[in-house]
Chains A and B, each alone.
Chain A
Amino acid sequence: MRLASVDAAALAVGLRPGMPLADARAQIGELAVVPHDPVLDHGWLDRLAQGCARYTPLVALDAPDGLILDIAGAVHLFGGEAGLVADVEHRLVRLGLTLRHALGPTADAARALARYQTRPAPDEGQAIRRLPVAALELEAEATTALVRAGLKTIGDLASRPMANIAARFGADAAMALRRLLGDAPSPLDPRITLPPVVAERRFAEPLGSTAHATRILAELTTEAIGDLSERGKGGRHFRATFFRSDGLARSIAIETGHPTRDTGLVMRLFAERMDSLADPLDPGFGFDMIRLAVPRLEALGASQLKLEGGAVKDAAIDELADRLATRLGRGRVRRLRPADTHIPEQAQLELPAADAPPPLPWQEPDPGEPPTRPFHLFDPPQPIEVIAEVPDGPPHQFRWRRQAHAVRRYEGPERIAAEWWRRRDNGGLTRDYYRVEDAQGRRFWLFRHGLYDEKPDPRWYIHGVFA
């Protein structure tokens, strides 16, 4: 086991990341060790990024421990670059973080400056030229080769012709250098793409109560919906972000099955969502900014209510589906749609009601014939013990859930082959389905998994129960 990361105090006594844990313990007896959890670290970084969305919506994660903010056009809100930096430091230091920041003309330049700058420089251009070649983050051999060639700083490298660098140290080195110098684009991959409709409000004094914050959210919703109706659009997805004054933020999202411009509906869904949160919205020292974003829009024309009230009833059901999906999770409110396959358990799709496609026709029943598919289906099928004729006779008796059933009537087999055209291994075994009725009149759907020439001792399963 090795040290993944150490704090300032540990650095001061000579511990370094990558050191074996045994050595570290030998040096420092009372070493406090916490197991490294990259997932948790990433989650924390993501929360910080969410909190930094107060400065600019374009925040990118630079795993494992960096954040890149595109502050172009957002600086004036905080009284210049210095003001913004001070605000960031003020908030994040309060969370117990050690910060190291840099401003740069491109994302890569800023990142390299934050991570590798050791000496101050009069301006950004000079600072980049004074960075060590390690800032290119090439492979270890390439970096060593550069240093051995006497090229110790980015400035040394930049003074050479680019073609020579590419020829000697590879195209990667040339590309990294050009990105650092701003000759090549270094695009940012923001955590959240810019939503089309945003309404936000900042407060001079933080709001201490959730109820007050909800009222502000209602005002923001009205604002955003005004914007939506000007565009002739309705929102399908609304996301409210509450920024706490200590630098963290909490997002709450809702979704509707149909585009909507109904403030009341949106607020009811938000209220539903807040009620169902496992850990309630905590204002902490207060919210100092609330933002409502509408990331997903769809065209929504002006609608007229039908005289007989049909549209109102449909809307009521849609709203119920949205409300239950908000409370329970979107996957728990479902509609059924047919799928084009004859494998029984794949013939129906259970889709979230919010984005189920328009209905497709189902298999029509044959006139005068009893149903050939069960009302209830077991997925996966449940194994049963069967007494049946070998090789392909019907079952005479079977035992399911510790209860024996004598078969009085049967129909079958209905042979359903595996989908050999979809899978390389021919898709598995053939199934022989029997519709059987026991002495009490209960009707079951049984199948033998495999023919006797496919498998020496095929197993029997119950796949469903008929009405």
Chain B
Amino acid sequence: MRESSPLLAGLRKRIARLAADGGLESRRAEGWLASGHASFDDALGGGLMIGRTHEFFAADALDATSAAAFAALIALRTPGKAPLIWLRTNDAGKRAGHIYAPGIAELGGDPDRLLLVETVDPKMLLACANDAIRCAGSAAVIVESWGKFPLFDLTAGRRLALGARDAGTTLLMLRLNATPAPSVAETRWSVAAAPSRELEANAPGAPAFDLELLRWRGGPAGTHWRLDWNHDENAFGPNADEAALSGALLPLPARRAMASHGAAAA
């Protein structure tokens, strides 16, 4: 016992040192990936925290595109030319579809910022994600997976989260066709497509997203949002239908968008 007590004391000291340096929340945020929607960003303290992991679950297999587009848009709306590194397995093109640059360009994103990485299997996907996340200078790293991802367990998640924290990169985990499970992510979202505001002649309007905050380390979860993407402002805005129903005072971008729709209709 006498030998072990200094040993134990040493271990305790070491744990204390590790905890001071190694906790996921130990470092202050360097900034936020903001959506551009004021109340959404305020509720999260500024947006999605940079240097953290954020998980996006598609509410349904058919909502894969909505989840992918939300993650891509929130990363691509950051100013500058920093690349968005997108890792997926090589069967993703068949399942969710190929990432289509003309579509991204029409959403106001810059497809030249995309760096696509395709791996053969999920194991390689994680290995490459570990490398990508440790490389400073990217706007974000999107790791797309389909279905259950047993390799991405708590240990793998923590390793990625620590890498992201140390390099100051943001990891956006895109979990398609999967059910939410506990992880070390800062925020966890469920994303679904929302009906768009109809345009002239019953045409579908701007992209609309239904978001549910499933978990947030920094505060209460369970909040719902319905956001529209406005590519002229390069920002998310309040859903046009909801705003019209509630009669609330509209922020400037949405009002301008509606005015232009009105002008088109007239």
> Which residues of A are at the interface with B, using a C-beta cutoff of 8 A?
312-314, 316-317, 319-321, 323-324, 327-328, 332-338, 344, 347-348, 350, 353, 359, 362-365, 367-368, 370-379, 403, 408-411, 435-437, 440-443, 464-467
Q: What total of A-B pairs shows CB separation below 8 Å? A: 203
Besides A317-B85, A344-B102, A368-B257, 7 other A-B contacts (C-beta < 8 A): A320-B131, A333-B115, A367-B232, A373-B106, A378-B98, A442-B66, A467-B229
Q: How far is the CA of A95 from the CA of B87 in the complex (A)?
A: 45
Of the candidate stretches B26-34, B48-56, B181-189, B193-201, the one touching chain A is: B193-201
Whether B229 lies near A320 (C-beta < 8 A) is: no
B136 within 8 A of A: yes
In chain B between 140 and 168, which residues have their CB closer than 8 angstroms to a CB of chain A? none
**Using Cβ atoms and an 8 Å threshold, which residues of chain A touch B201?**
411
| Cα-based distance from A371 to B104 in the complex (angstroms) | 9
Write out the residue numbers on chain A whose beta carbons fall within 8 Å of the beta carbon of B205. Answer: 370
Q: Does B180 contact A (CB under 8 A)?
A: no
Query: A443-B196, A467-B229 are contacts. A348–B102 as well, Cβ < 8 Å?
Result: yes
CB-nearest residue of chain A to B210: A441
Are the C-beta atoms of A335 and B124 separated by less than 8 Å? no
Interface size class of B (residues with CB under 8 A): 35 or more
Closest to A435 in B: B204
Across the interface, B195 reaches (CB within 8 A) one of A359, A408, A464, namely A408
**B65 and A467 contacting across the interface, CB-CB below 8 Å:** yes
**CB of B96 within 8 A of chain A?**
yes
Least CB separation from A364: chain B residue: B105
**A314 vs B208: C-alpha distance when bound (angstroms):** 34
Taking CB atoms and an 8 Å cut-off, the chain B residues in 65-106 that contact chain A are 65-66, 68-70, 72-73, 82-83, 85, 90, 93, 96-106
- Distance in Å from the Cβ of A54 to the closest Cβ of chain B? 35
Which of B204, B231, B261 is within 8 Å of A409, CB to CB?
B204
Q: Which of A320, A333, A365, A442 contacts B231 (CB 8 A)?
A: A365
Q: A333-B115, A376-B64 are in contact. Are A466 and B207 (CB under 8 A)?
A: yes
Nearest-neighbour CB distance to chain B for A79, whole angstroms, equals 49
- B100 engages A348 (CB within 8 Å): yes
Q: Is the CB of A442 within 8 A of B62?
A: yes
Alpha-carbon gap, A150 to B180, bound state (A)? 90
Q: Which of A368, A373, A377 has its CB near the most chain B CB atoms (within 10 A)?
A: A368
- Taking a contact as CB atoms under 8 Å apart, the answer to whether A443 and B193 are in contact is yes
Residues of B within 8 A of A363 (CB): 102, 105-106
Chain A: CB-nearest residue to B256: A368
Cβ A437 vs Cβ B132 within 8 A: no
Minimum CB–CB distance for B20 against chain A, Å = 28
A362 touches B204 (CB 8 A): no
Please determine whether A440 and B193 come into contact, CB atoms closer than 8 angstroms. yes
Residues of chain B from 98 to 145 with CB closer than 8 A to chain A in the complex: 98-108, 110-112, 114-120, 124, 128, 131-132, 135-138
Known: A327-B128, A370-B196. A409 touches B138 (CB 8 A): no
Distance between Cα atoms of A197 and B249 in the complex (Å):
69
Whether the Cβ atoms of B97 and A378 lie closer than 8 Å is yes
Q: How far is the CA of A323 from the CA of B69 in the complex (A)?
A: 27
B residues near A321, Cβ cutoff 8 Å: 115
With A370-B196, A435-B203: A324-B100 Cβ-Cβ less than 8 Å: no
Q: Is the CB of B107 within 8 A of A371?
A: yes
For residue B95, give the distance in angstroms from its CB to the closest CB of chain A. Answer: 10
- What would be 8 A-B contacts, judged by CB atoms less than 8 Å apart? A336-B101, A364-B105, A367-B260, A368-B264, A370-B206, A370-B207, A442-B65, A467-B107
A370 touches B204 (CB 8 A): yes
Given A316-B137, A317-B137, A464-B97, A353:B115 Cβ within 8 A: yes
State A376–B96 Cα separation when bound (angstroms). 7
Cβ contact within 8 Å between A443 and B204: yes
The verdict on B63 contacting chain A, using a C-beta distance below 8 Å, is: yes
Given A328-B117, A467-B65, decide whether A362 and B100 contact each other with a Cβ distance below 8 A.
Answer: no
Contact assessment for B264 and A324 in the assembled complex, using a CB-CB cutoff below 8 Å: no
Of A316, A362, A408, A411, the contact of B105 (CB 8 Å cutoff): A362
B202 at the interface (CB under 8 A from A): yes
* Minimal beta-carbon separation of A442 from chain B (angstroms): 4
Partner of A374, one of B70, B100, B108, B199: B100
By the criterion CB–CB under 8 Å, are A373 and B103 in contact? yes
Chain A contacts for B229, CB-based, 8 A: 467
Q: Which residues of chain B have C-beta atoms less than 8 A from A327's C-beta?
A: 124, 128
Evaluate contact between B112 and A359: CB separation under 8 angstroms: yes
B102 contacts A362, CB within 8 Å? yes
How far is B103's CA from A378's CA once the two chains are assembled, in angstroms? 13
Indicate whether A334 sits within 8 Å of B103 (C-beta atoms), given known contacts A370-B204, A409-B203, A441-B194: no
Return the 8 tightest CB-CB contacts between A and B, nearest first: A376-B97, A313-B137, A467-B69, A441-B195, A362-B105, A371-B106, A411-B203, A377-B100
Distance of B30 from chain A, by nearest CB (Å): 14
Q: Is the CB of B100 within 8 A of A409?
A: no
Q: Is the CB of B204 within 8 A of A411?
A: yes
Residue from A316, A317, A371 with most neighbouring chain B CB atoms (10 Å):
A371
Cα-based distance from A364 to B68 in the complex (angstroms): 21
Residue contact A464 to B131, C-beta cutoff 8 Å: no
